[in-house]
Each structure stands twice: as C-alpha cells, then as structure tokens.
Amino acid sequence: MNDALMKRKTSEERKYLAGQWRLMWWKFLDHRLAVAAMCVLFFMYLMAVFCEIAAPNGPNVRSAENSFQPPERIRVFHEGRPHRPFVYGRTVHINPETLVRTYTDDTTRLLPVRFWVKGDPYRLWGMIPMQRHIIGLDSGDRLYLMGADRLGRDLFSRIAYGSRISLSLGLVGVFLSLVLGIIIGGISGYYGGVMDILIQRFIEILRSFPTIPLWLALSAAMPAQWSQVRVYFCMTIILALIGWTGVARVVRGKILSLREEDYAVAAKVAGVREFTIILKHLIPGFASHLIVTVTLAIPGMILAETSLSFLRLGLRPPTISWGVLLQDAQNVRALSLYPWLMWPVAFVIVTVLMFNFLGDGLRDAADPYSH
Amino acid sequence: MLAYIFRRILIMIPTLFVISIITFIVIQLPPGDYLTTYIANLQMTGEVTDEAVIESLRARYGLDKPLPVQYWKWISGVVQGDFGQSFSYNKPVKELIWERLGLTMTISLITMLCTWIIAIPIGIYSATHQYKFFDYLFTFLGFIGMSAPGFMLALVMLYISYSVFGTSVGGLFSDAFIDAPWTWAKVVDLLRHIWVPVAVLAVGGTAGLIREVRANLLDQLEMPYVITARAKGLSEWRLLIKYPVRIAVNPIVSTIGWMLPGLLSGSVIVDIVLSLPTSGPLLLNALQDQDMYLAGSFVMLLSTLTVIGTLLSDLLLAWVDPRIRFERQAS
C-alpha cells in the first residue's frame, strides 16, 4: 500500500461521507472566479460595516481650499529612490476668468502617508467615539484618494459611507422579497387549486409592469418631508414589491415537485402541521436554489437604488449613498472638468459584477450531485 | 391555433384592467392632487387664487368626487383614446405622448435588431471556439456589459464624447430640426443621432443574448445527431447552420416578450441622462409635477406595450413549438 493510494482512498471516502452542504462548498471552491468575487464582496461589506475607519476623512467635512482637488497618488519613489509611502503637497492656481482651479504637485513638499492615524473624530456605528483612520495624512492635511467634490469633501470617504446604505439596501430588499416570496409561493405551491391560479395570475400581472416606470411612480409618491430613514425603508419595500415574484416562482415550482415525495407524505401522515412541513421539510430541500435566486436578485436592487437616487427620486442629500453621489455627475460640463466624480460608477459596476460571478458559481454548486 | 390566440387575447383583458387599477392607485398615492400643487405655485409667485376658478377646475376634472368615480372617468376616457388633460402643459395628453412614445418604440425596436445582429454571430463564434482567446474575451466583455447599468454607460458615453469631440451627444435632433415638421432631412438627422442611445441600450441585452446563444449551442453540439451528420460528411459550416444554430437561436423568440419591456423600462433612465425627447424625461417631469393624467397615461401605455410584447412572444413560441400549443389545449 503506497501513500498515494491511501490518500486517494481517504479523499474518496470523504466525498461519500460528506453532507450536501459540504459537497456544495467543495464544488463552489472549484469555481475560481466565484471565490474571488466572494472575497471582493467580503471586503466591500467590511468597508461598509467599518466605513468610519476605512474613510480617511469625515464624509461631511468641507474644506473650501480643496474644492475639486484631483485624486492624489500614493507614491513610494521620490527622485528615483524608494521612500516610505507619501503624497506630494499641492499648489492651487485659480484661473481668474473661468474660476477653474488647477492643482499642481509640489515635488518639494512630501506628505508622509500614515496608517492607523488620528484624524477627523467620529462615532463608530454612531456610538463609540473614535479618532483613528486606517489611512490618512498628518493632521492639517487631507488625503484625497479619489479627489474632492465642489465643497472639498473627500470622495473616497463619501463612497465608503455610501456603501453602507447602497450595499445594505440590496440585502434588506432581498430579505423582504425572500420572506414574501416564501410565504406566497409556499401557499401557492402547497395548496394549489384556486389560490394557486389567483396568485400565479397576480404574479404575471406584476411582472408585466415595466419595472422602472413603476419604481419611478412609487418613489415619486414619497413625500419630500419624510425622514431619510423612512425613505430608506420605503425604498426597500418598493424594490421588494417586485422582487418577491421571482422567489415565489422558485418556491412554488420546487414545492409542487417535492410535496408528493415520500418523506413529505410521511410527515403529513404523522400529523405534522402543514406550515411546519413547508418550513422544516420542504424548504431545506431547495434552499440552495433559493440562495442562487436571491444572490442574483441583489445586484438588481443595488442598481435600482442607485438609479432612483440618481434621478433624485430616492434618497436625497445629506444622506450619502452611491446614487446620491452620482447626482454630482449629472452635469456633463462638470464631468469633463472633474472626471473623478464618476468613481461611484466604478464601485457600482464592480459590486454588480461580483454578485453576478458569485451567483454563477453558486448556481453551479447548487446541485452538487450532477456530473 | 386560432382558439389559442383567442384565449390568450381574452386573458389580456383582466390583466390590463388590474394594471389600470394599480396605475391609478400609484398615481393617486402622493398626498394632495394637482390642484393643491397648482395653488401652492400660484401663491408662491404672489398671484391671487380665484376660488371660483379653482372650484370650476375641480369640478371639471372630477377631483371633488370619490376615487372610484374619478377612476371610472379616467379609464372610460382612456378606452376611447381620450387620455385627459395635462395640467402642467395645459394640453390634451394625447397631443403630448404619441410622438414621444413613437420615438421610444423606434429606439427600442432598432436596439432589438442591433442586439440580434451582433449577439448571434458572436454567440455562435464563442461556442464553436470554446475556451479560445476570443471566447474568453467575449465572455469577459459580456459580463461587464450585463453588469453596467445603461444610465452609467450613458454617462460615460457623454463624458467621452464631450471630452474627446467637444460636443454633447445628448438629444435626438440637431437644433435646427427640434421643432421642425417631419421631413426626409429630419429623418436623416434622427438617424445620425439615434446610434448613441441604441448603442447604450444594446449593450446589456447583447451581453445576455451572447451568453444564452453560446450555452444553448454548446448543449446542441454534444448531441448525437451532430456527430451523425459529421460522420456522414456534411461540411462543418452547413452542419452548424442547418441544425444546432436553429435550435440555439430559439430562445430569442421566447425572449422577445420580456426584452421589449426591459428595453422600454431601461430606456426611461438612459433617455433622461441623454436628454432625449422620448417618453422617459416627460414621465419623470410628470411624476415630479404630479401631472397625474400625463404620468398615468405613460405608465398605462408602457404597461400595455409590455403586455402586448408578452402576447406576441407567446404566440410566436406557440407557432414555432407545437408542444406548447397542444399542452395548453389539453389543460
């Protein structure tokens, strides 16, 4: 018996003994792109959770002398020699006629980049008072990784704060549509009959609505004096109103095929309540498919929030979300002068792309017994 | 087949009825009605509001009546082609919407054609050259295309054209033609501008379709009949075009239905960004001004187009695929 054979045998044994979720996990790990996407998303959400620390500056700290400051590059070479990370200081020149500000690097002034540095004070999660930031400059100077807006606010810090709203809104919306979808789809699939026909017709009607005009109309219906928290939750409800139909269809289809299985009938004969049968015995049978549906629904919700806020129908300043930040990019003239205002676009596209990759990998992994 | 068509059209009626109710409710949701906004505006500009004028306006639009009566007034007008009065433009709604809806439809249809013309050959190429360089390239580009929302592409497009060419690509007509009557020169001018929104809108659909055609064709290429045909010495090209491609392209038929609504819906925001004279910007304005008849007509008509699109694709599918026809008849 040589080692290689032993090894193979144990790995095969492992495969036979592994549970469904473990097999899925292994299959998922084979999908390199999906794993990479999961890592990127993990860091995105980490940034959203700890945005106060991740942001070098306070999101609402104005500084008139830094208005429209272009992005600063962190350098590690000074005059051809390696140097600790730093950025060059800048001098500003204001065109007296057009009032356009041009910034030039002052290569004699080196501002060292510090890590875990004291900067603008904040309250972590609105509670714990802190001053440290992962990255920043010595006090008095501001680090503009992605440039500044008109009021001299740091765009990267604002994107970090915006991610908290933009990324969470997708999750909350999907959670709501999951709850709605499971309840309605479950009823439709388990009881069948007239209920089923009515629910299916209703879903068809909802789906034949052009989504964006409907979203526009619903968001326009939110009164302007509402608090932003209320607007936030209303938006998740608006998004979930259409999102649940996809979940409901999956749930119904799967329950229809599973409810005649022996184990479901056995549970019924044993006198288990119907609601418990659906929740405890049927749904775990296709939970993986649900996860896929839900993962692929999140990017749509993030995009919807961004579009609605961009059109000034969703969240409004002073709330910070990626869509709100993009409102500044509406003006072509400003965009051509200050192209870094488009940075939020990159974050949105990367997030959506990563969710699509992740969903793709999950879909392959959802059925680990195939092939 | 005739019975099937008849039944499908019959189902459309209750669907449209429910849609009209939802539309009406949504439009009524904002607190107050148009008149309260109108009065507030008048007061802001310092004009005296004449109670008698307001009362007559209220009576004319039935705003003093209960909601079901208002709905009935609205929907019975819509069925007869009278969409009511736009408050903010002070014109009948039907004068405002048809040209804009026409342009929206034109853009959507051209986009759909472009999507097919680009996506099908690329999908076929990707499938027959699986895991080659261009397949990876197209797959990668396809994923980006699917992830980038139209309005952001439109922003990028605006930025590039403005910073490189120094002109704005917004709008559908040159200044000289904006209010001109329709002439041949105006059509040519339209075609010169229309490629921008078409390009922006086509990206998402094209990317999706490439992936679909590729996946379907890959499935078909493994089938025994392909191997048989190859063994019998059919040339590779004829073999490909004659059987597997025809099956792989089938989903195009089934997706017409939701591609059209997707386009209509997506074009709303893209058109606003590119400031096109189509239905999107007008709908947004109407919603912001609470111009309820105008907004309601747009939502209603766009939904109707969606329902018609779904119907068309169902009929096409039934025509192409006899299984659907018979299954429906049996049930």
As for the ipTM of the complex, it is: 0.74
Q: Is the pLDDT of residue A1 over 60?
A: no
Q: Do B146 and A218 touch (CB under 8 A)?
A: no
Gyration radius (Cα) of chain A, Å: 26
Residues of B in contact with A202 (CB under 8 A): 18
Q: What is the mean pLDDT of residues B83-111?
A: 81
Are A356 and A296 in contact by the 8 Å Cβ rule? The answer is: yes
Amino acid at B139: T
Report the chain B residue with the minimal C-alpha distance to residue A205: B15
Q: Each residue of B51-73: pLDDT tens digit?
A: 777 777 777 666 677 778 878 87
* Secondary structure of A274-327 as H, E, C letters: HHHHHHHHHHHHHHHHHHHHHHHHHHHHHHHHHHHHHCCCCCCCCCCCHHHHHH
Q: Do A208 and B303 touch (CB under 8 A)?
A: yes
Q: Is the pLDDT of residue B105 over 80?
A: yes
Determine the Cα–Cα distance for residues A156 and A144; give it in Å rounded to an integer. 7
> A-contacting residues of B 291-310, CB under 8 Å?
295, 298-299, 302-303, 305-307, 310
Amino acid at A341: L
Determine the Cα–Cα distance for residues A233 and A59; give it in Å rounded to an integer. 22
Q: How many CB pairs under 8 A join A and B?
A: 120
Q: What is the mean pLDDT of residues B297-320?
A: 78
Q: Do A217 and B155 touch (CB under 8 A)?
A: no
Amino acid at A179: V
Q: Is the pLDDT of residue B41 over 70?
A: no
Determine the Cα–Cα distance for residues A282 and B124; give it in Å rounded to an integer. 40
Q: What is the mean pLDDT of residues A275-298?
A: 80
User: How buried is A248 (Cβ within 10 angstroms: 0-12 exposed, 13-18 middle, 19+ buried)?
Assistant: buried
Q: Given B23, B26, B159, which is nearest A221 (Cβ)?
A: B26
Residues of A in contact with B273 (CB under 8 A): 330
Amino acid at A277: I
Strand partners, A135: A115
pLDDT value at residue A369? 60
Q: Do B147 and A307 touch (CB under 8 A)?
A: no
Binning pLDDT at 50, 70 and 90, where does residue B325 land? low
Strand partners, A118: A132
Gyration radius (Cα) of chain B, Å: 25
Q: Given B30, B143, B283, which is nearest A213 (Cβ)?
A: B283
Q: Do A353 and B273 touch (CB under 8 A)?
A: no
Min mean pLDDT across A106-110, A229-233, A315-319, B256-260 is at B256-260
Chain A interface, best mutation among B88, B269, B290, by max A CB count within 10 A: B269
Strand partners, A128: A124
Q: Do B265 and A212 touch (CB under 8 A)?
A: yes
Q: Each residue of B228-279: pLDDT tens digit?
A: 888 888 888 888 887 788 777 776 776 666 677 777 777 888 888 888 888 8
Are B23 and B300 in contact by the 8 Å Cβ rule? The answer is: yes
Q: Do A217 and B26 touch (CB under 8 A)?
A: yes
Binning pLDDT at 50, 70 and 90, where does residue A6 land? low
pTM to 2 decimal places: 0.80
Determine the Cα–Cα distance for residues A281 and A263; give it in Å rounded to an integer. 8
Residue B300 has φ and ψ, to the nearest 5°, of -65, -45
pLDDT value at residue A114? 77
The token duo for B253 is: 């038929």
Q: What is the DSSP letter of B48?
A: P
Binning pLDDT at 50, 70 and 90, where does residue B331 land? very low
- A357 in B contact zone (CB under 8 Å): yes
Query: How far is Cα of residue A181 from the mean position of the Cα atoms in its chain?
Result: 21
Residue B167 has φ and ψ, to the nearest 5°, of -120, 160
* Secondary structure of A131-159 as H, E, C letters: EEEEEEECCCCCCCCCCECCCCCEHHHHH
Determine the Cα–Cα distance for residues B218 and B247; give it in Å rounded to an integer. 11
pLDDT value at residue A189? 81
Q: Do A209 and B306 touch (CB under 8 A)?
A: yes
Residues of B in contact with A333 (CB under 8 A): 162
Q: Is the pLDDT of residue A207 over 80?
A: no
pLDDT value at residue B169? 61
Sheet holding A128-137, edge to edge: A75-78, A81-94, A101-124, A128-137
Q: Do B162 and A357 touch (CB under 8 A)?
A: no
